[in-house]
Structure 1
Amino acid sequence: MNPHSPDDHDDEEFDAYDGPSKSQRKRESHALQDLGAELVRLNADQLARIPMPDDLLDAIRDHQRFRKNEAKRRQLQYIGKLMRSIDPEPIQAALDALKGVSAEEVARQHRLERLRERLLEDEGVLFEVAESHPGADLQRLRVLRRNALKEREAGKPPRAYRDIFRVLRDIDEAGSGD
């Protein structure tokens, strides 16, 4: 028999799995640090929507307070270290939702855009909004609708048109937040 044949050596040394390679761990660490870099760019309202431990939130706020680049760099590394001890998936999902990239968020945006178009075509859609969202400011929507139609006729920038979307989005968020 050949002393170097593959059948002769101990299979245990090849079957032992030591976990991810050093390169893989480094890539994962950098990905978490990049996620942390996205978090530090958020404002206070956006940060409040992201589920995260208090120590991570404190570290992010500290980073935002720092002025010197070296302090910011070290703090970002610390944020990455904190993130290695938590599940980043809920944070990533919340960030995606904030950026509007999740499938649910895209579908929601399209639904609200269709509602806005229907509202501009027919004022009766206000009654649908009132039924599905009691307490919605229908008077404001009515005024915005009228202004958007005037803007469209005059060829002006669509300020009221955009405001209608914002109001509908806020109404929808208030209704889903119950």
Structure 2
Amino acid sequence: MNIVGDSEHFKQPYDNDDDYISKTSYKKESADLQDLGNKLANLSKSQLDKLDLSEELYDALIATKKIKPRTEAYRRQIQFIGKLMRSEEIAPIEQQLANLLNKNNNEAAKIQVFEKLRDKLITDGDAEIQALVEEHPHLDRQKLRQLVRAASKELAKGPESKSSAELVKYLRSEIK
């Protein structure tokens, strides 16, 4: 046996194995699944209800809500969720999560639009109310004027205004 010429001696056990997963890539995959599990655990129960999750994974995520965050028990629960997710189809869950989070971002953007409209109504007064009623004839001009007047009076006293919030709520409910 010639050791220098014997290349069989230096072959690794995984050189011919196409299914071999390195320890590093396995750990990375586990960490990625745990990160996704942590994102899911941070969702509210109503948001989790909207996702298409297996019963076992759903129950584990709900159980996470009862555990104090940043504790060893929480970390182990997240690891368990990562383990459960190895048997799940991850792509659909990630897509549903992205859609759910984007929907929340869209809601925040809509609220900002109505808050800007409220500010414009308060600063420009009747001229802006008239333009808005012309654009949306189903709006109640009198109610709109009352809300704007009350909001501007309250804003003169301080930055937080109940009437201002009512005005945004009214605009959101009436303008689609």
Q: Which interval holds the TM-score relative to the shorter structure?
A: 0.5 to 0.7
Structure 1: distance between partners of 2:31 and 2:46: 26
Structure 1: distance between partners of 2:67 and 2:113: 41
| TM-score, normalised by the number of residues in structure 2 | 0.57
Structure 2: distance between partners of 1:171 and 1:51: 30
| TM-score, normalised by the number of residues in structure 1 | 0.57
Question: Cα deviation per residue 1:136-159 (whole Å; 9 max; x = unaligned)?
Answer: 99987665433221123x241232
- Matched with 1:147 is 150
Structure 2: distance between partners of 1:139 and 1:51: 43
Report the aligned-residue RMSD. 4.0
Q: Specify the structure having the higher radius of gyration (Cα).
A: 2
Which residue of the other structure, out of 88, 91, 109, is the alignment partner of 2:97?
Answer: 91
Superposition pairs for residues 64-143 of structure 1, below 5 Å? 64-66=65-67, 69-84=71-86, 85-86=88-89, 87=91, 88-98=94-104, 100=105, 104=106, 107-120=109-122, 121=124, 122-124=128-130, 125=132, 128=135, 131=138, 143=146
Q: CA separation of 1:83/1:144 partners in 2, compared to 1, >3 Å: closer, same or farther? A: farther
- Point out where structure 1 has 5 or more consecutive residues left out of the alignment: 4-12
Structure 2: distance between partners of 1:148 and 1:166: 12
Shift of 1:94: 1.3
Q: CA separation of 1:57/1:24 partners in 2, compared to 1, >3 Å: closer, same or farther? A: same
- Point out where structure 2 has 5 or more consecutive residues left out of the alignment: 6-14
Q: Contact 1:33 / 1:79 at 8 angstroms: preserved in 2?
A: yes
